[in-house]
Amino acid sequence: MTTSQVSEKALPESKKRSKAAKGTVKIESDKGWLRLRFSVAGKRYAFAVGLPDTLLNRKVVQAKAQQIELDIISGNFDPTLTKYKPEKLSQESKADLLTIPSFFESFMEYKAKEVCSKTMEKYRATYNYLLKFFCDQPVNFLDEAVTEKFMNWQFSQGLSPDQVKRRMEELEACWRWHKAENNPWEKMGKRIKVPPKQRPKPFSREEINTIIEGFRTDRYYCSYADFVEFLFGTGCRIGEVIGLRWQHISDDCSQIWIGEQLTRGKRKAAKRNRARTITLTAKLQNLLIRRKQSNPDPDSLVFTSPKGGAINDHNFRNRAWKKTLTRLGIDYRKPYNTRHTLISHALDLQMNPVMVAQLTGHDVKTLYENYAGNVNSRPTLPEL
């Protein structure tokens, strides 16, 4: 397919890198700006065309690509590229052309290669707010006063200080990634003071046993009982348990290797690329032995949904978890609280914090700051 044959519906696919056919001039997007890439007589060429990546500009660049293709076929190709290159634009002119939302959109495309789907959802939310507030305003429209108006407008939309601060930090990172001469977002995030939040209350031992038994006796959600018990017993992140495969478990089921996680169907390395091996209690070991079939497929999941697929953490939380806790009369806390609960009880039992951090994949400082919500691990006032 030549560039001239690309339909409007196929345009978004043209942003993806793929090997072009011989004689084809390929349109690419680099940090929100269009460029052309092609080969002539074994020599590769690539140059920017000086236009931001928009639907209209892609049609303009498409015509230029077609001209180059015809010149190659007819023998009139200019190897110096002078015939095809536009006049060099200044940074100020580029800022006039590129809109604020599209500036962030190119940053999103770059980040999509390295962040999880949950993070991309947050980026998309930020993009939608930019689109709603700025529409097609150019990048050079921004200054500190305008960014402050955008910040205050988000508060008027009902966003929390934590949400607004995160968005300001995302935008600051975007402008830094673009190496923009001025970064009007630089000071915004620091000006937002996020009120401290009370640490979540860990589940008591009685609540843990009640929840596990509640799942085991539930006609609809009993298939999640082992999954829930394993979450409480290991303190692993939910995605780590969802993504656990039989190849990660020792032959006698006494140890598990945690180096991957599975979230919303996307498998990736464990957080911070930190792998760890956990020696299980006899109770959890027997749980796995009961689930283990003879010669299980090493790639198959240890814990699955009722239909046999990967567990969707969103569906599990909103259906099985919430309904079960409500039925049992237990105050709602997110499933992730199973991790906080394990750490709190381990510290209550005077377990070495360094050992706890090794089991859960934290550093000791993070462990105390974010997870040590139990009474015995806190400093106490002296008796006077």
123-143 tens-digit pLDDT: 999 999 999 999 888 888 888
Specify whether the CB–CB gap between 170 and 122 falls below 8 A: yes
**E-assigned strands of 87-173?**
none
Higher pLDDT, 343 or 273: 343
- Compute the distance between CA of residue 42 and CA of residue 23 in angstroms, rounded to an integer: 11
Instruction: State the virtual CA torsion across 273, 231, 204, 254 in degrees, nearest 10.
Output: -90
17-31, 36-50, 70-84, 122-136: lowest mean pLDDT where? 17-31
Q: What value does the mean pLDDT take over residues 42-71?
A: 83
Distance of CA 277 to the CA centre of its chain: 25
Specify whether the CB–CB gap between 151 and 188 falls below 8 A: yes
Determine if residue 111 is left, alpha or beta; phi over 0 gives left, psi from -120 to 50 gives alpha, anything else beta.
Answer: alpha
Query: With respect to CATH, is domain 205-371 assigned 1.10.443.10?
Result: yes
210-252 tens-digit pLDDT: 999 999 999 999 999 999 999 999 999 999 999 999 999 999 9
380's tokens? 């106490």
To 10 degrees, what angle do helices 205-216 and 225-234 make?
160
Query: With respect to CATH, is domain 96-191 assigned 1.10.150.130?
Result: yes
Residues carrying CATH 1.10.443.10, the chain: 205-371
Residues carrying CATH 1.10.150.130, the chain: 96-191
203's tokens? 């589940």
Whether residue 56 has pLDDT greater than 60: yes
Residue 375's pLDDT band, with cuts at 50, 70 and 90, is very low
157-202 tens-digit pLDDT: 999 999 999 999 999 999 999 888 789 998 898 899 988 877 778 9
DSSP category for residue 376: T
Higher pLDDT, 356 or 326: 326
**pLDDT of 5:** 37
